Structure 1
């Protein structure tokens, strides 16, 4: 019982630390990319993971593609994200002059079966159906790999490694613990998403991680 009480107190302190500073990166205009027409006709799903550096004026200072499944998806994503705008913030009280965030962009929100032309932007909007698609592909192609290596979870790890997360969780030990928390939660997330394919994956992330996701619950 004492262990549970201490864990609960630690979680409360973590939540207070997150909410003590006003959240940055409040979206003002984040239009989705356009699905390349020839890939759409071929029912070709894909993904791009882009690293954004957003300055205090709310504009995107740089956009670097970390991963892409097709050059045309890369071009579509880059054309969109450079136009994004966020609410400006004052560089004071520990708020940085810029922050970095990893943004996954999924072309074909449900994967391949059934194919959907819907595009989801951001970790907070990834559908469980897409995670299910990736888990199925991973088990088929890399049966000996742990599920934590599935791209969706790798995207989450890149998100947690960005300076945006550092700005909201300044304590290094607390940030390190997030990665372990995510890895331990993977089997349950996979199971929950398998049972609820139409839900967003963020709803099944550990609460302390979901609260860090821009636009998340």
Structure 2
């Protein structure tokens, strides 16, 4: 996944210094959050740009999804600007705002199939370990955000994302998967030598 960023929308808070705009040296784009499959959105951040080119106090002012705000802040923290000499019309610190637009890019069919196949036929013991680690790291996040389940969701949604099937049907399949996850986790915990694919709903067998 990749995202497009409206990086040109640096808006400065102090009108007195509106004519002075520092030159960007590096403005890396944020990473698209892995748990937000096929989701578009945006985030608005604030930051301070210092005369030595560094930034500080990067904050998410608003975001259509919390993960977009987190990704935007993480990227903007790495931004750097060309240093300038402080003067009457060039302050030591500038306050600015920036809008970032996130648009997911659907993966290619070959990439989806390869990753999906590897995920499906992993042993249940590996999936259980992944679930346990995820629960320790992100206790409040839903099961669908776990990498293996997120990959499965992309695969079952791919026909809809690529325009080969109805998008509403794709969403229904994704919802069906999410509802089945607690049972899949329990089954895998009870049968560590089985594989993840053994416990997917029967209606998903055509994806195998």
Q: TM-score range by the shorter chain?
A: 0.3 to 0.5
TM-score between both structures, scaled by the size of structure 2: 0.42
TM-score between both structures, scaled by the size of structure 1: 0.41
